[in-house]
Amino acid sequence: MSHLVEEMSAKALKLGIPLSVQLDLTYRCNERCVHCYLDHEDHGEMTTSEIKNLLDQLAEAGVFFLTLSGGEILMRKDFFEILEYARLRAFCVKLKTNAVLIREKEAARMRDLGVESIQISIYSHRPEVHDAITKMPGSLKRSIRAIRFLRSEGLHVTMANVLMLQNIQDYPGVRALGAELGVEVTIDPTITPRMDGDRSLLDLNIDQVALERVFREEGLVESAGESCAPPTGPDEDALNMLPCSAGHTACYVSPYGDVYPCVQFPLPSGNVRQMKFVDIWRDSPQLNEVRAITLRDMPSCSKCAHGGTCTRCPGLAFMEGNMRGPSTQDCEKSFARTGIPSVNLMSKKSAVAGLVQIQSVPAMATAASA
């Protein structure tokens, strides 16, 4: 994060301003990725006029960074009308897309409108792997072609590589592809549960051995270089830390106008079709509850050696059952970085061992009576 953005974030936090908003324009998509957490049906998306009105409200509330995402943003026929309006309101606009529908004309339009950056999901450098994940034949070829169009227009492009069982061997190839195309590659080993609470997608998570290999490879994921530093536990400053920017300087708005602390934190906090955005931001009981939480308020995490260094996501913790509790996925990441299990992982291990011991008692008793 640049020094200027750090200053902006600090000031926004002090003043209670929503500096950054992700707005999903649609959940419809031309791909059907195996790990996607969204329902791709249209249950009544906001109209063009509703979205423009929302953009006016976001600007008045002080939003500066606006991420337009989906679903696939270009599935909306009014996408460029929305993008143009967002730029007229002086937002710094970032896009998330699979880029399948981007050709020379669309790339040039994005350049002319001054898009800040474009994130494109690439799951493998091998078509048979990438296309099997997206369930769209030819999708890798079309996404790469779009990246070349965008780069030729001078746009900043990032390739996002989500790791899962299907592609865990391919991230070196994706990094090499990124170098060839002249774009940054981000690696993320996090699979998100479905927004309706279904956790079956977590079966796609890579195992602990693979996770450790990823986190200990120099420069591969954020904080990988800290893998050898033993956790020291939270000090007094750490105990007063806020979990993340969700609900503090950032939030998420769905295609139906629902406001959440974050796209990975599906706690319904209001709807812009029923209330003004700024009133939801300031007065929502749910957002205010999220804002009240510090590390000190988390019974397990506040006592954990990883408390001051963990990348714990409160949204993942919420989907696990308790926004003040641990996120097991983040506990596993901390373990992969350091080799030291968290309080949460140790308690789970003890619980499993106890269950095994209880289950073995009847068998032992039967053997003895025989």
pLDDT in tens, the chain (370 residues): 578 888 999 899 999 999 999 999 999 999 999 999 999 988 999 999 999 999 999 999 999 999 999 999 999 999 999 999 999 999 999 999 999 999 999 999 999 999 999 999 999 999 999 999 999 999 999 999 999 999 999 999 999 999 999 999 999 999 999 999 999 999 999 999 998 889 999 999 999 999 998 888 866 665 433 333 344 455 666 666 777 899 999 999 999 999 999 999 999 999 999 999 999 999 999 999 999 888 887 878 888 877 777 778 889 999 999 988 888 888 888 888 888 888 788 777 665 454 444 455 454 444 444 4
Contact, 150 vs 102, CB < 8 A?
yes
CA-angle at 274, arms to 270 and 275, nearest 5°: 70
Specify the pLDDT at position 235. Answer: 61
Specify the pLDDT at position 225. Answer: 36
Contact, 253 vs 43, CB < 8 A?
no
Contact, 196 vs 319, CB < 8 A?
no
Tokens 């696990």 -> residue: 320
What is the rounded CA–CA span in Å between residue 269 and residue 258?
A: 7
Contact, 300 vs 324, CB < 8 A?
no
Structure-block tokens of residue 169: 């061997």
Specify the pLDDT at position 351. Answer: 55
Specify the pLDDT at position 234. Answer: 59
Tokens 């509790």 -> residue: 325
Structure-block tokens of residue 259: 């406001």
Please, where are the H alpha helices in 300-339?
A: 314-320, 328-338
Contact, 46 vs 273, CB < 8 A?
yes
Specify the pLDDT at position 335. Answer: 86
What is the rounded CA–CA span in Å between residue 328 and residue 344?
A: 7
Q: Cα–Cα distances in Å, from 245 out to 146, 230, 251, 255, 290?
A: 32, 26, 8, 21, 10
